[in-house]
Each structure stands twice: as C-alpha cells, then as structure tokens.
C-alpha cells in the first residue's frame, strides 16, 4: 500500500474527500503508478495515519477518499539525537536512511578534523532539503509517523553546548565500556560517531570535557557509516523499542 507524506501544515480530514497537493500527487500517480480504487495511506507527522482510497484525478492532483484516522505512535521512548559525521556520497545517505528507520529523533551533521568531507561542501538550502527529503522517504518506507529533523551542518567544535540528555561518543579503544555495561541512560541521548579517519585525540578530549562518555562497539573496527547505525540499533535494543 502506498504511504504518502504531507507536510505538517497540511490539514487532513478524519473522513471524506481530500485533494492531494501537486507534488505528492505526482509521486503517487507517476512514480508509484497508483490506480483508481487503490488503497492509500497518508501521514503528516502528527502521530496518526489516514486510510483512504484513490477516488479520481482532478487535473494533475489525486483525489483521495479518506475513510478513517488512526493513532499510530512510532516514536521511541528513548530520544536519540545522532551527531552524524559528514561522509562521502552514498555512505552518508545510507547512514542517514538507516538511522531514520531505526527511530532517531534528530540528525546533526558534524564536520570533524579527520573527515574527508568539509562543512563548506555541504552548506546550502538545496543540500539540506535533499537530506530532509531522504528522511521523509525513509519514513514512508518504514511506516514511521514522526518525522526526524535534519539540522544544518556545523563544526563539531561548535556543537558541544547542544548536547541533550546523556552524551555518548564512540571510541574503539579497548579500555572503553561496552554499551551493555552502561547504566540505563536518561530518556534522551546524544550519540556522536566519528568520520572515516576517526575522531582526533583533541576531539575525544573535548568530548570528555563536555561530559560525553566513551563507549566501544566490540573488538572489530567498524566503518564510519556502519558504526553510527550499529550504535543506534544497540541503544534501541537496550533501552528503546526494539
């Protein structure tokens, strides 16, 4: 069944006919190739899903007959704020998509000292909108009804004061505790993962100075795009909703 996202300012009726805006209509009709009488699910990030049927087409807009509104809360009880290091192309895209599927609350792109991608390469509304569109696509695929927010990229050195809840930083040093050895964290966690070249010694020192606890991910060194996603999955399994 196609799942179509509408922006939060789109007011959906609990029942009755609803004319989709042009962009989601194009996605439904031209990309997903929906047909008349096909069932459709709509959501706008309010924690509900709206069940309906494609009734007809008016110009280039799809007319949906909504049959009901149902609460479907998919937000994890553990609020995870992921500080995701800037990475090249598909690596970044993959990590972003999988983190959304696993239920993170926000994604803060950070530029680190050893990163291949620098912050000047990612600035601009078009890039940020592309990332947010990827988040929405991941929510459509995974059935999420709450939409995580991608924040504008910033240097890691400027981000420390934005930590919310308990701060955790991934560091492969063997003396660091494993996540399963941690005490139950606060309901809110900020998770920092390193780039391809890892976090520098000064960045790790700054993390510790700002209250971040170093945690390991086992005896094997994970790729940058894998480490962030694996850590989110572990957090959700231990204290979230997996």
Render the burial of 215-226: b for 16+ CB within 10 Å, e for the rest.
bbbeeeebebbb
How does the average pLDDT of the chain come out, rounded? Answer: 88
Q: Which domain holds residue 212?
A: 79-239
Residue ending a domain, among 38, 54, 71, is: 71
106 and 145 in a single domain? The answer is yes
Total domains, the chain:
2
Span 121-180, pLDDT tens digits: 566 678 888 898 899 889 888 888 888 999 999 999 999 999 999 999 999 888 888 888
119 and 216 in a single domain? The answer is yes
pLDDT number for residue 47: 80
Residue ending a domain, among 71, 102, 128, is: 71
Tell me: pLDDT of 101 over 90: yes
Residue ending a domain, among 46, 71, 96, is: 71
**CATH code of the domain covering residue 67:** 2.40.240.20
119 and 187 in a single domain? The answer is yes
User: Which three-class secondary structure state does DSSP give residue 11?
Assistant: coil
Query: Contact at 8 Å (CB) between 233 and 152?
Result: no
105 and 217 in a single domain? The answer is yes
User: Which three-class secondary structure state does DSSP give residue 232?
Assistant: helix
The rounded distance, in Å, linking the Cα atoms of 223 and 43 is: 34
Question: Can you give the pTM of this predicted structure?
Answer: 0.84
Span 80-99, pLDDT tens digits: 999 999 988 788 899 999 99
Instruction: Please give the DSSP secondary-structure letter assigned to residue 211.
Output: T
63 and 83 in a single domain? The answer is no
Per-residue tokens: 197:
């070249």
Q: Do strands 154-155 and 177-178 pair parallel, antiparallel, or not at all (unpaired)? A: unpaired
């Amino acid at each position: 069944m196609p799942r179509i996202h509408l922006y939060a300012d789109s007011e959906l009726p609990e029942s009755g006919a609803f004319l989709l805006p042009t962009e989601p209509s194009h996605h439904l009709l031209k990309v997903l190739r929906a047909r008349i009488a096909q069932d459709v699910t709509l959501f706008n990030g309010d924690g509900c899903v709206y069940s309906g049927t494609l009734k007809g087409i008016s110009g280039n807009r799809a007319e949906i007959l909504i049959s009901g509104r149902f609460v479907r809360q998919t937000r994890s009880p553990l609020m995870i704020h992921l500080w995701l290091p800037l990475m090249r192309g598909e690596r970044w895209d993959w990590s972003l998509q999988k983190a959304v599927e696993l239920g993170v609350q926000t994604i803060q792109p950070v530029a680190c000292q050893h990163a291949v991608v620098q912050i000047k390469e990612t600035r601009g509304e078009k890039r940020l909108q592309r990332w947010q569109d990827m988040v929405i696509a991941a929510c459509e695929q995974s059935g999420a009804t709450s939409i995580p927010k991608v924040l504008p990229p910033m240097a890691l050195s400027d981000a420390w004061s934005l930590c919310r809840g308990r701060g955790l930083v991934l560091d492969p040093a063997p003396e660091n505790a494993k996540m399963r050895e941690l005490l139950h964290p606060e309901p809110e966690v900020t998770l920092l993962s390193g780039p391809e070249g890892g976090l520098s010694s000064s960045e790790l020192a700054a993390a510790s100075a700002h209250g971040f606890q170093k945690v390991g991910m086992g005896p094997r060194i994970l790729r940058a795009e894998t480490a962030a996603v694996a850590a989110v999955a572990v957090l959700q399994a231990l204290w979230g909703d997996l």
